[in-house]
Chain A
Amino acid sequence: AQRVTQPEKLLSVFKGAPVELKCNYSYSGSPELFWYVQYSRQRLQLLLRHISRESIKGFTADLNKGETSFHLKKPFAQEEDSAMYYCALSGESGGSNYKLTFGKGTLLTVNP
């Protein structure tokens, strides 16, 4: 069975500090990993996906198959980064990246 674990329910950092949101997964095949973000009073939206290897809003995430991790990082946190972050996995046969298994989420607060 596939599973996504986000060990931190809450994470608080100061503006300008580095931030790392942890995500570990369990899946027997080759998964696709995503980070979704939900800002206050907004809908859930895609932040980035591992296959794109891109940086969005200064965030990056590297898939480490050896450690089965997909941690989200940003070198200098901004107040507008405060939000709920969800790590998600798609292990659907055929590579569909629509049917997602989510972690419980990490609420990031960036203090001024």
Chain B
Amino acid sequence: SAVISQKPSRDICQRGTSLTIQCQVDSQVTMMFWYRQQPGQSLTLIATANQGSEATYESGFVIDKFPISRPNLTFSTLTVSNMSPEDSSIYLCSVAGLMNTEAFFGQGTRLTVV
């Protein structure tokens, strides 16, 4: 299985600021994804992080709000920009493409915007 390190594990941020979340995997993976889990809701896919090119965003999510980088096959960042209290969620990194084709998840980043 993949070992995924997601940082920070939690943060409390002021509205109007930005937070960058990092996802590091211990092996090269084909695909990396970012999900959001708002309080009481299910996990929702934000985007697919593409290595060396712009991320592919799902409906309702835009690059200006959630810029994503993926400089190589083992690392990605998600930035939550110009935060508001509605952005308070758990953000999860997911990776796939290993031998058994299972999708693995990071521990998540619990973000609170005040």
Give the B-binding residues of A (Cβ under 8 A). Answer: 4, 43-46, 86, 96-105
Interface size on B (CB < 8 Å)? 22
Q: Is B97 an interface residue (CB 8 A)?
A: yes
Residues in chain B near residue A104, CB distance under 8 A: 40-42
- The A/B interface has a contact count, at CB < 8 Å, of 42
Bound together, the chains give a CA A99 to CA B31 distance in angstroms of: 9
Q: Which residues from chain B contact A43 at a C-beta distance below 8 Å? A: 4, 105-108
Q: In the bound complex, how far is the Cα of B95 from the Cα of A44, in angstroms?
A: 12
Q: Are B102 and A46 in contact (CB under 8 A)?
A: yes
Tell me the residues in window 24-46 of chain B with beta carbons closer than 8 Å to chain A beta carbons. Answer: 31, 33, 40-45
Give the 10 A-B residue pairs with the shortest CB-CB distance, closest first: A98-B96, A44-B105, A102-B42, A102-B43, A104-B42, A98-B103, A43-B107, A46-B102, A98-B31, A43-B105
Task: Enumerate B52-81 residues with CB–CB distance to A below 8 Å.
Answer: none
Nearest A residue to B37, CB-CB: A102
19 residue pairs of the A-B complex, CB under 8 angstroms, read A43-B105, A43-B106, A44-B92, A44-B105, A45-B104, A86-B42, A86-B43, A96-B31, A97-B96, A97-B101, A98-B94, A99-B45, A100-B45, A100-B103, A101-B45, A102-B42, A102-B44, A103-B42, A104-B41
